[in-house]
Amino acid sequence: MVKVAVLGAGGGIGQPLSLLTKLDSRVTELSLYDIRGAPGVAADLSHVNTQAKVTGYQPASPKDESQLQKALTGCDIVIIPAGVPRKPGMTRADLFKINAGIIKGLVTGVAKFSPNAILLVISNPVNSTVPIAAETLKQYGVFNPEKLFGITTLDLVRAETFLAQLLKINPAEVKGKISVVGGHSGDTIVPLVQSTPLGKQVARALSSDQYSKYINRVQFGGDEVVNAKQGAGSATLSMAYAGYRFAELVISALTGTPSYDSSKIPEPAFVYLPGLVGGKAIAQQAGVDFFAVPVVFGAGASVKTVINPLEGLTGSEKKLVEVALKGLKPSIKKGEDFVKGAA
């Protein structure tokens, strides 16, 4: 029995993400919430012949919390893709003004109505919205670092796809062999390839110029989609795939039916390090509390341990980390201050 809620289910990411979740045979209830459109999406998805019972909720007014309460009660997993996406020329940080308040409001609902749920935050800027979520949960005394994840999987998906193109191999051959850590925005994104099992193959196949271009493409790949959509938004379908890829790991850990064993191929998420086994040392080494690192799930889909991605890096990977940390620190602080200042 797994109940999943998608908050922002009427949107570009929310709709396909809800579809993918509806297709998961282990999900028994799927609860869709949005300030507009969720009941329609729910009615549509409810005709798909899988067991998950789908319900849609839309508040009658901005002050109406009853629908959020209904959507969240009894949830095991809450996925949040609510908020505005980028338009050409915007960075993810430009979204802070609007999305910070949206995340704070929705996570307040999670704190009140499903405090034990595993929370997956997709809304940008992830580097700030996850600290906002953490601080909000702290204010309600229900913050469990083992259950809060910023979704950075799309960076890994892009890194796998683009590398496979360069190596002229099937992306499936790259899956699980490389990693992307750090944050989720421009040069805070740190693709790790050289120090992985594929490192030698990459060194043989790619010139240093090609390698630099590849790193840049992973870091700024989102812009390709934003520009191609010409103002109609950012990545939605690839993001829905990526969001479900991570959610699927959580569902597997939760139900004890690992189709993909996270202890064998840990995938990264943006987490609060000091509260996690193995995390304190990374936080001290990096000088930040939040960082995307590979996570291994334990029973109940809480984080069992995190893996230090900063060991054994090449010189150029170390430089990428240094740059990432510079960008991450103020973004994390901005998120934390947003909640602390509003308290």
Residues annotated as catalytic (active site), given as ranges: 184
Q: Is residue 40 a contact point for ligand NAI (CB under 6 A)?
A: no
Question: Which residues in 216-235 contact ligand NAI (CB under 6 A)?
Answer: 233-235
Find the binder of ligand NAI among 3, 4, 6, 12 (CB under 6 A): 12
Percent helix, strand and coil across the chain, each to the nearest 5: 50, 15, 35
Q: Is residue 271 a contact point for ligand NAI (CB under 6 A)?
A: no
φ, ψ of residue 272 to 5 degrees: the values are -90, 105
Which helix (DSSP H) or strand (DSSP E) does residue 201 occupy?
A: helix 199-205
Q: Which of 221, 209, 161 lies closest to 185 in space, CA to CA? A: 221
Find the binder of ligand NAI among 236, 252, 262, 331 (CB under 6 A): 236
For residues 15 to 34, the per-residue mask of contacts with ligand NAI, x marking binding by CB under 6 A and - elsewhere, is: ------------------xx
φ, ψ of residue 191 to 5 degrees: the values are -75, 130
CA 245, 269, 259, 218 dihedral sign is: positive
Q: How far is the CB of 80 from ligand NAI (least distance, A)?
A: 8
Find the binder of ligand NAI among 74, 105, 115, 171 (CB under 6 A): 105
Question: Which residues in 282-341 contact ligand NAI (CB under 6 A)?
Answer: none
Query: Do residues 120 and 80 lie in contact, with contact meaning Cβ atoms separated by under 8 Å?
Result: yes
Question: Which residues in 126-185 contact ligand NAI (CB under 6 A)?
Answer: 126, 151, 154, 184
Q: What angle separates helix 96-113 from helix 126-139, to the nearest 10 degrees?
A: 40
Q: Is residue 206 a contact point for ligand NAI (CB under 6 A)?
A: no
Q: Is 170 exposed, middle or buried (0-12, 13-18, 19+ CB in 10 A)?
A: exposed
Q: Is residue 10 a contact point for ligand NAI (CB under 6 A)?
A: yes
Residue-by-residue DSSP string for 265-281: S-EEEEEEGGGSTTHHH
Alpha-carbon distance of 158 to 312, in angstroms, equals 23
What does the block give as tokens for 220? 């700024």
Tell me how many residues contact ligand NAI (CB under 6 A). 35
What does the block give as tokens for 339? 């909640």
Nearer to ligand NAI, 72 or 303 (CB): 72
Question: Which residues in 73-102 contact ligand NAI (CB under 6 A)?
Answer: 81-86, 95, 99, 102
Could you tell me which stretch among 2-10, 275-283, 285-293, 314-322 binds ligand NAI (CB under 6 A)? 2-10
Q: How far is the CB of 35 from ligand NAI (least distance, A)?
A: 5
Alpha-carbon distance of 134 to 104, in angstroms, equals 10
* Shortest-Cβ-distance residue relative to ligand NAI: 11
Q: Is residue 35 a contact point for ligand NAI (CB under 6 A)?
A: yes
What does the block give as tokens for 67? 């629908």
Residues that bind ligand NAI (CB under 6 A): 7-8, 10-14, 33-37, 81-86, 95, 99, 102, 105-106, 122-124, 126, 151, 154, 184, 233-236, 239
